[in-house]
Amino acid sequence: MSVKYVLVSDEEYGEAVELPLEDNGTLLLSTLTAQFPGASGLKFRTENNVVRGVRLADGRFHVPDNEWGKTPYYCVFPKVENKRKIDDSVENPTAKTKRLETKLKCSDLVVLNIPYTYDEQKLKEYFGQFGELLMLQIKRDKNGQSRGYGFLRYTNLESQVRVLSQRHKIDGRNCEVKVPKSKEGNGSELSGKVFVGRVTEDLTADDIREYFSKFGEVINVFVPKNPFRGFAFVTFLDPEVAASLCGEDHIVKDVSVRVSEAAPKPQVPKNRHQTPPPSEPWERSNNRHNDNYRNWYHSQHDNRGSVDMPNLQSLGINGQDSYNPMLPLSPAIVAAALTQAAGWSLANGRMMPPPPPPNGNNQWSQHGLNSQRNNYNNRKRSNNDYNSSGNR
DNA sequence: GTTGAGCGTT
């Protein structure tokens, strides 16, 4: 099977770049953003001279019948000010009172794997694409040689979230951008993720994404399937959008769903198979605590031991698959969701989804993970490294 | 003089 390509440019009539399609005919969002940092969507002009958007679901662009047109597609870059586009009063009379007063602040971010040939200027050219930089520095040794990593900070959180939500290939190198370890738990980060309860089985991730995109850019929708669990997670680019929706009821395709805060997962000490959940780009940045939930959970599940809860906080996860402690969720739902998170495992140095259920089907509707196969730098060293004594 | 996992005043 030969690789197929689609022509994409950054703007209409811009110079097009060939982007490889996946085997199933979809285009990965990560493939797009690798070439066009910050891009969030794709458009094209139909024969009727109408601009049409390409369906984006779970990190992939889908076109009908996998027939990509020959006319170039071009990128959509989110508007910065599309926080909450529709009038609150239309759908959510209560929303007005819940505007966030707190201005969320950025934190410094580490950039790893910077090419040694890059100086601050060149790096600024790249990271400046995502927003206004407050500072950027490359760490150097005495001789001024780049150490290959550095720090940066944006002026606004959107830029930060955007940068954290995608992969960065700089000069052919995969540069990791993360919240520094030294900064973890400082609370400057906030999740853009909301918990969507009362989801019914006929609601697809697409439906949910389509609906919630009205409020702001949606960077991920997560709907556990098989078995159906009655909830979803929606991650917005803008945490304020997420926050503004919390506590509201929304009608998605005639289904009344409940949006609430996606509280972080609690920590759990005992877990035999404790392995990090996927480091989805959009999951990487945040870290909050929620003792309420932990207490609640334990009150529900003490002495059962049937569900291992992963230590997500130590994993740098911002509350993926988490719950609002105030919600009357059934323990079964909770348990199921926890199982989901705990199910991730490390295989061959790569995060793998939970082992398939007896019926052998893939459980999850989200496959962003599978697109991240380019961890070519993680060959394990030979075991004589174990008693290494810092010789250098 | 080199290099490629990492986490910030040299």
What is the pLDDT, as a whole number, of residue A304? 26
Give, in Å, how far the C1' of B5 lies from the CA of A379: 11
What is the pLDDT, as a whole number, of residue A142? 87
Closest-approach nucleotide to residue A115, Cα vs C1': B4
Cβ contact A149 with chain B strand, < 7 A = yes
What is the pLDDT, as a whole number, of residue A84? 53
What is the pLDDT, as a whole number, of residue A47? 84
Q: Which of residues 158-197 of A touch strand B (CB under 7 A)?
A: 173, 178, 180-183
Give, in Å, how far the C1' of B3 lies from the CA of A88: 55
Q: What count of other Cβ atoms lies within 10 Å of the Cβ of residue A129?
A: 14
Closest-approach nucleotide to residue A171, Cα vs C1': B4
Cβ contact A105 with chain B strand, < 7 A = no
Give, in Å, how far the C1' of B8 lies from the CA of A192: 27
Cβ contact A133 with chain B strand, < 7 A = no
Cβ contact A110 with chain B strand, < 7 A = yes
Determine the protein residue whose CA lies at the shortest distance from the C1' of B9: A139
Cβ contact A24 with chain B strand, < 7 A = no
Closest-approach nucleotide to residue A175, Cα vs C1': B4
Give, in Å, how far the C1' of B5 lies from the CA of A114: 12
Cβ contact A114 with chain B strand, < 7 A = yes
Give, in Å, how far the C1' of B9 lies from the CA of A305: 48
Determine the protein residue whose CA lies at the shortest distance from the C1' of B6: A112
Chain B positions with an atom below 7 A of a protein C-beta are 1-10
Determine the protein residue whose CA lies at the shortest distance from the C1' of B7: A180
**Do A39 and A33 form a contact (C-beta atoms < 8 A)?**
yes
Give, in Å, how far the C1' of B3 lies from the CA of A116: 9
Cβ contact A147 with chain B strand, < 7 A = yes
Give, in Å, how far the C1' of B4 lies from the CA of A115: 9
Cβ contact A380 with chain B strand, < 7 A = no
Full pLDDT tens readout for chain A, 392 residues? 678 899 999 888 888 899 999 999 999 988 888 888 778 889 998 888 888 999 887 778 999 888 998 888 999 876 655 445 454 445 444 444 344 444 567 889 999 999 999 999 999 999 998 999 999 999 999 888 999 999 999 998 888 888 988 889 999 999 999 988 877 655 545 678 899 999 999 999 999 999 999 999 898 899 998 888 999 999 998 888 898 999 899 999 989 999 998 876 554 444 444 444 444 555 544 443 332 332 233 323 322 222 222 222 222 223 333 322 222 222 232 222 222 233 232 222 223 333 323 333 333 333 332 222 222 233 233 333 333 333 33
Closest-approach nucleotide to residue A107, Cα vs C1': B8
